[in-house]
Structure 1
Amino acid sequence: MGRWGIATLAAVAAVVTACSPSAADDATGDETTTSTTRTPRITDDSGRPPVTFDPCYDIPDDVMNAAGYDAAKKEVADYPMGTHTFLGCTYRKDDHVPGVRRGYSLSILSGNVTLDEELAKNGSIATETSINERRALLKIDQENSAACKYVLQTNFGVVFFNRLYNKDHAGEVPQSEWCSRMEELVISLEPFIGNK
């Protein structure tokens, strides 16, 4: 497809393919939270930095469970694209409110493209902001209603937080609900990116 925005959104929407992480499986408890280096499970030959933040393994399951997302059902994904790489993790939050929503789907995607590249591609739907003093974008696309996206800058590239509101009613989801409490979630997860 050529453009990572289209390719990654299509990939996230597609069936997620599980993969076998390398050193992540061998880490336990304290090693996972205190380790500052990890061999990336996917690399590319683009000359871009390796993706060193792996959302499925660097965000503790108990943190996601406390946020209401069932970490036991998380799905690991990767998107090696030759010119760049994305490591992904998807979660579901099944807080069904009949007639209102069925819950949320959350995709966290870590990639070695830059925030400036993302801003150049999606500036029409992006607003510059910051999360815990980290440069970020908030993306709201009128053509992708009920989705809320934050993109955070990292040393290797960016981390996308993409949440979809799964409605349980006919009609549109009010725009005021698309990002409801999403900023608080991203603020709580940002520290796990660390200085990567």
Structure 2
Amino acid sequence: MTVVKALRPKIFRRFSAASILALGALMAAGCSSTGVGNPVASSTAATASGSGSTAASTAGRPPFPTLTAPDLQPPKQQNQNRPDVAFDPCTWIDDDTISHLGYDPRSRKRSTDIHAEYTFLGCAFKSPDKAYTLGILSGNRTLDEGRAKFTNDSAQIQDTTIDGHAALIVRPQMPSTGCTVLLQTKVGYIGFDRIIFADHLTGPAPERCSGIVDLVRGIIPRIGDS
């Protein structure tokens, strides 16, 4: 696969195909390498520790502490006839989880949130070698709405199930735009978008969706009952 060097991670296009998912993730699982720098989750469990506020155990809230840095907090939601988004990828995914997945916790950055008639809460991460960017969008649009958006963009869509969640693996028409997974939640779906920058790798780039299901599987425990 050829990856354009000048490509910049379109972490979240606002209202187009790279907006709601432009641009993983997690569980406290150990990280292994494919030999080409591809961060993937292994089956080795690790304790996920958060830094921040007190834990809450009610539905829609994480059963663990969340991050409290002011610049990471989500915006106020303004949903119209849609449930509020509970899972916030920037404050619910702890540093240990990000590290175990092969990404740099210090690169954590709130991305363009969408909060209008529907909501997407976004966060972005980079691998230490800058070869991978990971964008995560948690929203309250339905999985069918996500499917329709990518169908309209002529993307290749594969139905699957990840740890009991209906999911779509999406390969956009342009290979350089990376690989996306949509994971169904109680209020909508979470989009995971990964882009590979081949010029930062020491070896050949892997297939663009290689390891992304393990990445998503790793973050599912941090989603909680949402």
| Range into which the TM-score falls when normalised by the shorter chain | 0.7 to 0.9
- Hey, what's the Cα distance between the residues in 2 that align with 1:144 and 1:83? 31
Paired residues of 2:21 and 2:137 also in contact (CA < 8 A)? no
The verdict on how the C-alpha distance between 1:46 and 1:5 changes in structure 2, with shifts beyond 3 A counting, is farther
Paired residues of 2:21 and 2:180 also in contact (CA < 8 A)? no
- Cα RMSD after superposing both structures: 2.9
The normalised TM-score by structure 1 is 0.75
Q: Look up the match of 1:137.
A: 168
Listed as ranges, the matches of 1:107-146 within 5 Å are 107-123=135-151, 124-125=154-155, 126-145=157-176
The CA deviation at 1:163 is: 0.4
- Hey, what's the Cα distance between the residues in 1 that align with 2:220 and 2:148? 23
Equivalent residue for 2:53, pick from 10, 13, 27: 27
Q: Structure 2: give runs of 5+ residues left out of the alignment.
A: 1-12, 24-49, 62-72
Q: How many residues align structurally?
A: 171
The verdict on how the C-alpha distance between 1:3 and 1:91 changes in structure 2, with shifts beyond 3 A counting, is closer
The normalised TM-score by structure 2 is 0.66
Identity %: 36
- Hey, what's the Cα distance between the residues in 1 that align with 2:117 and 2:19? 12
The CA deviation at 1:42 is: 2.7
- Hey, what's the Cα distance between the residues in 2 that align with 1:6 and 1:64? 23
The verdict on how the C-alpha distance between 1:50 and 1:190 changes in structure 2, with shifts beyond 3 A counting, is same
Listed as ranges, the matches of 1:27-176 within 5 Å are 27-28=53-54, 31=55, 34=57, 36-38=59-61, 41-95=75-129, 102-123=130-151, 124-125=154-155, 126-145=157-176, 147-168=178-199
Paired residues of 2:136 and 2:191 also in contact (CA < 8 A)? yes
Q: Report the secondary structure of 1:63's partner residue.
A: helix
Paired residues of 1:42 and 1:85 also in contact (CA < 8 A)? no
The CA deviation at 1:103 is: 1.2
